[in-house]
Structure formats: C-alpha cells, structure tokens
Structure 1
C-alpha cells in the first residue's frame, strides 16, 4: 500500500529531484504543488490544506503555543538567508551606523515574520538596538488592495510599540516619503534606488561573512512540516521523507558542480561556488539535520521568546518529529 500525500513548496534546487520524481520517498506518493512561499504559508496556516508543506520557521514556532499544535517539523530547511542585506534605510534619516536606529521608525510586513525576528535579534545582540528602543510599523511592503495581517495570532510585549499602517499605504512608499526611517523585511522594497533608499550595510557581503565565521550561524528561514494528524497516523513517514530530502540535496549539489554546461544563468558560478565553500570551510555548506543546526535553532528560539512571540523558550528538539533527531548513514 502506497500512502498518497500532497506537498506544497517552492521549486528550490535542493528539492528539484523530489519535484521531478528522480527521488521518490519509499512507500509514499508525493504530489508536488509548486507555490510561492506566501501562498503556501497562508493556505497551510489558515486552512491546513496540505499534508506536507514548507512553513515559516517563526510561524511554525508560534503554532507550538497552541494546546494541540497542528504541525510537526522535520529538520529539513527549505530556506536559509543572511538577513543583514535585507535591512533598508532612508539616508535622509541620519542613519550612518546600525546604532543610529535607536529611536527610529522601522517597517516590517509582519512582526512575527522569520526575517525580522532574526534582524531584530541581531540588532540587539550585535549593535545595542533593543526592540523597545524603536517604533515598529507593520503592513504591506508594496501597494495592495488588501490589508496585510499576520497569518498566525501572536502576542506582543507591553513595552514595544507596534502600529498597523493605514489601509492604502505601503511600507516601500512610506520609506521613500520619509514616514519610515528603515525597513526590515525579506524582500527588497521597490523604492530602493541605491542612493536615498539603500542598504543599512552597504558592504553586507563582508558583514555577513564575518558574522558567519564568528557565530557559525547560517540563519534558517523555513522548515518542512507535516500535519500532525497525518504524522500521528503514520509516524514512519517523517524518517522516510527526511532521507528523501537528503538524497535530493546531494543531487542539488551535483547540479552546482556540473561544468560541461551551465545549469544556472550565472557566468561565474564556479568561482562563486568555490568562494562560498571557502567561507564556510566545507564543501557541503547547506546542511539539514538536527545536530548540525542545533546552535542556529537555539539562537532563533531565544529571539522568538525574547521578542514576546514564543510563550516559552522552546528547546530545539521540541520542534521536530522524535525519529528525525538522530543522524544516520544511508
């Protein structure tokens, strides 16, 4: 008997072999649904439409606040991203260095989004900008007929000021107009011009490289999660899916290493790939698995709790199906 499951996720290179069927989880028939992340997150968090899906790490942690959490994750990380490069400022706001953000007005699409959780934590840890030292504004980055609202309910700290922007406004234009001093986000605002609206860290590549070399943190953005009732009925699927994702990752690396013809539209892919390996100090730098990422998860969970999101400081192992926590050899 083959178990049929739906799997909603963007078509990442590391999952391509699962999408096209080169890797098939034993005993499972996966229907791959290629949706952009915002659609997947909204539909899964609001309506629980998929058996398996990509989820925001922050939103997933918030679901653990519930008495009966609806999902359980695998230590498989669909998206990772250094987020220093995704902090944008209006240069007319007098911001010359990160500590100048104290007392400023900062916009984010949602307070609970994973990217801003990392960004706020880094600002407090590394640059002395506590979350209660600025005023936060939440809403759509770009013009939208709909109001941007959080996909998951959450509380906010009493000493942190968070304001929803007016309907019809958007963070990108507010930054350009000087109504905001900065934006912490995942996406680049359309008002970015590299002059008036630019990066908080103009040399973000060097800053992020130094951050990694010092902390060994490659920030996790998204996890793969199962609906908990599907997992409870078939606990074996967690380990089988984990093994399939590991095989797909290996195939993704093979595509990066191919030199007979370019698989990706990057003329100097070989140089960039080797530079990244040197920075990380190892050939396979994008790693799934619990042990390899426990320190990254601990830091995120610390940030989530300190920022008033997680109801308590969860332990990393509480996030995942128990049978996926131990390393294994294929």
Structure 2
C-alpha cells in the first residue's frame, strides 16, 4: 500500500530535524518537508492554503476560528516557544524607565494580531500595570515598508491601531523618536547601532526566569495545522503526525545532551542545558494538551481580552481530540 503524500512547511528547527532527514517517518505518510521562513509560511498558508500541513502562528490560527467554516485544524504540537520580555524595545529619550512609563505612548508592532504581541500586551497588562488600551499601536514592517495584517481585524473602539506611513519602517521610526517603543518578535536593526534604543527589561533573562517560576508559563508561539479538507479525507493523519513530532522532539532533546562531540556550536552548551533544566525542568518543550493546558488557557484569555478572538476558546476546542487524548499500550 502506497503512503499518503503530504506537504509540510516549517522553519528549520532542531525539533523537526529528524522529520526532515527521514530519521523519523510518520506512519503511512510520505512527508515532503519544506524549510521556509515563518513569515513566508504563514502568509502563503493563511492567504492561499498552499500546504497540507504547516507551522502556524498560534494567534493567527485562533483567529481563523472566528470564521464560519475555519480552514484548518490544529495538533497540540508547538514548534516555536519564546519568552518575550526580551523583545520589547524602547527609545530612552521618551522617558521610559519602567513598564508603567509605556502608558500613553506610541508603540510599534509588525502586526497587532501576531502571537508575540499578544503575549507581550497580556503580560504587561497583567503584571506591570500597562492596560492594553493605554497605548496607541502602529503597525508595519520592521525593516521593510508595506507589511499589513495577514488577517482582517475587527477590534473594539477602545483599541487604536494605525498603519505607519508608506515608506516608513518600525526600526526607523523608533530610532527617530516617532515611536516610543516596539513590541516585536525580532530585534530592530537600530538596536546596538543607536545608543538610545534599549531593552525595556535590561535584565530580561532574570525577569523571564522569575516569570516562569511564578507562572510555569513558557510561552507558545506556533502550532501545527492541517488543512481541514485533508483531515476530513484522512482523519488518521492527525495521530500519525503527532506521534512523529513527538519522536523528533525526543531526538532533539538527546542532541542537546550529547557530550562526546558538540552537535550545536555553543562551547558551554552543557552548562546552558543544565541552567535551563534547573529553571524550566525536564520536558520543558513537550507537546500535548494537558502539559500545556495552563499556557493555552492564558493565551486564549489574552486573545479574547485584546479584541482578537470572538470568544475565550478552551484548549479542547483549539486542538483535534484525536491528537490530544493520551494513548498508552
């Protein structure tokens, strides 16, 4: 019996490396892995549904559930996670010395709906006294002009979101003082070049570790989606893919702890792994609904509170039951 050919678009992560190399093969599936930058994958999948399976922004996926007939279903698989305190940048000339100083300021963000921004706004509101509607948001490309929201938004009137002027970039406007801060995933090029551009949280590593110790939240950025039409024709692929992603993740864990010869170009990798385990514990990147329930519930709450999701989705509603329930021999 021939295997089912499926295309899979995802960035070049260590946790999917075994899938790309064929060391892990999903049962019954011939997976054609395409290593594409995340923004290209998201754009092509959201606008044109080009791939059978793909990495997807968690926020964008949740927004597709607002549609009468959502185009995707999701697996409880999380190829990207990141603490986001470290990617909030401020112009020191705007008088921002602590998070509360953001109130009333002009904040740039590539897209209001992007997952990093949802986490950043939620954390600033919940923990640092910066309500979501207390700043004005300006959207556009970080280094290239012309970026727009991938999904149309219908925000409450209390939240002000305005595209930056044509030809402008967030990095350029932050450096010039036309923006007071930027909430982003990446680093603006003006950081390190302009001395007045700095992190909001200069000691972000300590802040992020303290945040995890209080909340046990390692923020999820991306999930994996299957086109709904593919799942309806072949419902078994959900479990097969989930098992394969779990197997690939286990091999990535093993690579980090391999000691005879370093597989990653970090000379003190062992110490970094030890420090990470001391803070986050074993299995800190594990997939699955139950282990990540508290993270998903917090994100779903933020998305709804920020005017994005039309209701507060439960984790069970976000992910396929056939891939989410536990199975043991």
Give the drift of 1:26: 0.7
Aligned to 1:236: 236
Residue 184 of structure 1 corresponds to: 183
The alignment of Structure 1 onto Structure 2 pairs a total of residues equal to 327
- The offset of 1:162, in angstroms, is 1.1
**1:130-279 matched pairs, under 5 angstroms:** 130-144=131-145, 147-193=146-192, 195-279=195-279
Paired residues for 1:36-115 under 5 Å: 36-115=37-116
What are the Cα deviations for residues 145-190 of structure 1, in whole angstroms up to 9, with x where unaligned? xx11111122112111111100100000100000010000000000
**Partner SS, residue 155 of structure 1:** coil
Instruction: Provide the rounded CA distance (Å) in 1 between the counterparts of 2:28 and 2:225.
Output: 18
Aligned-partner Cα distance in 1 for 2:160–2:289: 35
1:328: Cα distance to partner?
2.7
Please report the RMSD computed on the Cα atoms of aligned residues, expressed in angstroms: 1.0
CA distance in 2, matches of 1:329, 1:266: 37
Question: Hey, what does 1:299 align to over in structure 2?
Answer: 298
1:80-121: CA deviations, max 9, x gaps? 000000000001110110011001110000000000010000
For structure 2, list consecutive stretches of 5 or more residues without a partner in the other structure. Answer: none
1:328 equivalent in structure 2: 327
CA-CA distance at 1:236 after TM superposition: 0.7
Residues of 2 paired with 1:221 and 1:103: CA distance? 27
TM-score using structure 2 length: 0.98
Aligned to 2:289: 290
Residue 17 of structure 1: aligned partner: 18
Distance 2:178 2:228 in 1: 43
What TM-score comes out, normalization by structure 1 length?
Answer: 0.97
Distance apart, 1:284 and its partner CA: 2.1
